[in-house]
């Protein structure tokens, strides 16, 4: 049986370590905010010379970090201290932009790899352990 907790991409941002997770909540927020299907996320972020690139990265990063904060709050019972998009933009610079972009892409990829692995695990659990190959 696999651990059903989502696994994310690590990112140290503004001196704090986060695990970025593309949960259903984040996927819904991204799709609603940008009026895109989640499969178009990389296309949306693909043009780093676009005027909106930094703003888009900041918005998505805010969703991902806040989801990590909320998940941790669920586990610990502590009051979540969510980040504002303004705070994220303030700490986002040309120096850490590529690292943040890479973490977003990694979290996106991990979310779909995790789904595929869980589907494989379910298929293995459904196999008859008494069956013989031959």
Q: Which H or E element spans position 12?
A: strand 9-13
State how far the Cα of 2 lies from the Cα of 6, in Å rounded to an integer.
11
69 closest CA partner among 81, 84, 86: 81
Q: Domain-by-domain residue ranges, the chain?
A: 9-122
State how far the Cα of 38 lies from the Cα of 31, in Å rounded to an integer.
6
Q: What tokens appear for 46 in the block? A: 């693909």
Contact 6, 23 (CB under 8 A): yes
Whole-model pTM over 0.95: no
Q: How do residues 94-125 score in pLDDT, each as one tens digit? A: 889 989 999 999 999 888 765 545 555 555 55
Q: How do residues 42-70 score in pLDDT, each as one tens digit? A: 888 888 888 899 999 999 999 999 999 99
């Amino acid at each position: 049986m696999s651990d059903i907790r989502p696994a994310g991409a690590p990112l140290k941002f503004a001196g704090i370590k986060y695990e970025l997770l593309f949960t259903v909540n984040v996927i819904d927020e991204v799709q609603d905010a940008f009026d895109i299907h989640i499969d178009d996320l990389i296309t949306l972020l693909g043009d780093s010379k676009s005027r909106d690139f930094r703003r888009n990265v900041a918005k998505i990063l805010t969703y991902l970090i806040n989801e990590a904060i909320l998940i941790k709050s669920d586990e610990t019972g502590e009051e979540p201290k969510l980040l504002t998009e303004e705070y994220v933009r303030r700490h986002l610079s040309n120096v850490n932009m590529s690292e943040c972009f890479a973490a977003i892409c990694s979290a996106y990829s991990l979310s779909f790899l995790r789904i595929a692995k869980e589907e494989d695990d379910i298929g293995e659990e459904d196999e008859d352990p008494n069956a013989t190959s031959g």
